Amino acid sequence: MILYTQPDARPGSTSIVSRLGDGSEAFPFRVGMTCIRQIRDYISVQNRGDCTTILHLDSIHSMAIHGYSVFACGYSDQSCHFVPLAYFCTSQKRKLDIGWCLRYIKRVCVDIGNVPFAPQYVMMDADKAQFNASVTELPHSTVLMCWFHVTKNVWKYAAEFRVSYDDTAAVFEDLYDMHYALR
């Protein structure tokens, strides 16, 4: 298991020892967790020429007593199953904090696999901080709307416009083909 925290970020500190922040604006709490196997598995998918890599970035709010955000990062396999890559807990949900999470994954991919972290797509909630961090940290990736929200809206509009079950099923087949498409 790999745990990642930030260096001592207090003003004037020259320490390179990692410390957990206190949750304040000036010294936020940030911790990331993954394992070597998860990173190696992702790298093997990213290096395949016949696969599209879609990073999923999802946040869950108020998971702990302090109300910190928990982020799950992962990717889809060919069966459209979510494969975990890393988990993070941050006291703030700003572009700076989410960027820290993405830089962690980038660093671990280089350290473990000697390859840059380069997903073709990033799928996320409609959140400005997540979007801005992704555009900054992964400038060559295309940002997509959260898969859950896409499918929810398709079901909603199919019902609203009284689309038949067979036609709705055909649309979902095409959506799933797009969700994990070969290059």
Q: State whether 32 and 96 are in the same domain.
A: yes
Q: State whether 8 and 35 are in the same domain.
A: yes
Residue range(s) defining the domain that contains residue 80: 2-145
Share of the chain above pLDDT 90, in %: 50
Q: Map tokens 């290059």 to a residue.
A: 183
Q: Rounded to an integer, what distance in angstroms lies between the CA atom of residue 18 and that of residue 38?
A: 23
Give the 3-state DSSP-derived string for 39-67, with helices as H, strands as E and coil as C. Answer: HHHHHHHHHCCCCCCEEEEEEECCCCCCC
DSSP class of residue 19 equals: E
Let me know: does 104 contact 60? Beta carbons within 8 Å. Answer: no
Q: State whether 99 and 111 are in the same domain.
A: yes
Given a cut of 70, whether residue 16 has pLDDT beyond it is: no
Q: State whether 27 and 106 are in the same domain.
A: yes
Across 12-18, average pLDDT: 65
Q: State whether 115 and 92 are in the same domain.
A: yes
Q: Rounded to an integer, what distance in angstroms lies between the CA atom of residue 86 and that of residue 35?
A: 8
